[in-house]
């Protein structure tokens, strides 16, 4: 697809996107975000691709934040526009209707941490480090870090990370709920691909509806979330996959989902 800053591969229903700027610790710039959005468009338009894995090239970083030189050039209006652009790309990934798995190797700092936060699931290598160091520059996260970190880790722990700007280990990230699983460095992609292949065998419509229910429920109170869940369950029963899944259970066999 002519990408210059990312690698995009597809295999067996799983797309793998690799931030490919290892010489600058896979730092995010405008071109990276443009190419990430283009890759998400390809994923969205290909029904055969059901799960996305994101990782970083090399062993040192998943993505180590934004390009500081680019940030230093911004005026207030430019900074706001830069923030809204990054937020829009990550929100598109979050609401794509296809699960995303962050396979975090090395540093996930600043914008890189925010990319991981926007993924459905996060696996981390033992050597991974997470942080939002923007406070050390006299600014704050702009790609959703102040919002998603609070939702994942709770207000008190999130504020400690945001206000101190200090990095935390993969084990600490797991302890506070930021990371789903910590694995040995050499097994990170094996574990992430194993999960992705497992998810790719599920019903595509059901995956999409569960993501809609979970994210939609966070936007309102419990009652509105329960209403949404009921509506989406009704919608699930219009699919061929629901009939196949229920019939397969009764017949004591594995379901053969057709994503319809």
H or E element: which one contains 123? strand 121-125
Per DSSP bridges, beta strands 14-19 and 61-64 are: unpaired
CB 207 within 8 A of CB 199: yes
Kindly list the catalytic residues.
114, 134
Task: Identify the CA nearest to 176 among candidates 105, 90, 117, 97.
Answer: 117
CB distance 157 to 176 below 8 Å? yes
Helical spans, DSSP H, in 95-250: 111-118, 145-153, 155-164, 170-175, 188-200, 204-218, 222-236, 240-250
């Amino acid at each position: 697809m002519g990408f210059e800053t990312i690698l995009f591969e597809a295999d067996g229903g799983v797309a793998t996107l690799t931030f490919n700027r290892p010489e600058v610790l896979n730092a995010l710039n405008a071109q990276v975000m443009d190419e990430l959005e283009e890759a998400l468009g390809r994923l969205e338009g290909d029904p055969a691709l059901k799960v996305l894995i994101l990782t970083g090239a090399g062993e040192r970083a998943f993505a180590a934040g934004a390009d500081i030189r680019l940030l230093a050039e911004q005026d207030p209006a430019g900074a706001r526009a830069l923030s809204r652009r990054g937020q829009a790309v990550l929100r598109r990934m979050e609401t794509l209707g296809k699960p995303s798995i962050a396979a975090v190797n090395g540093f996930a700092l600043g914008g890189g941490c925010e990319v991981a936060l926007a993924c459905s699931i996060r696996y981390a290598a033992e050597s991974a480090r997470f942080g939002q160091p923007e406070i050390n520059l006299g600014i704050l996260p702009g790609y959703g870090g102040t919002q998603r970190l609070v939702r994942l880790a709770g207000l008190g722990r999130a504020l400690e990370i945001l206000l101190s700007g200090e990095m935390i280990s993969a084990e600490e990230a797991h302890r506070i709920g930021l990371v789903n699983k910590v694995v040995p460095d050499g097994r990170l992609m094996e574990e992430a691909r194993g999960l992705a292949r497992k998810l790719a065998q599920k019903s595509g419509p059901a995956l999409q509806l569960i993501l809609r229910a979970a994210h939609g429920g966070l936007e309102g109170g419990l009652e509105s979330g329960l209403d949404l869940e009921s509506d989406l369950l009704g919608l699930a029963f219009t699919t061929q996959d629901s009939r196949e899944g229920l019939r397969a259970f009764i017949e004591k066999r594995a379901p053969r989902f057709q994503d319809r």
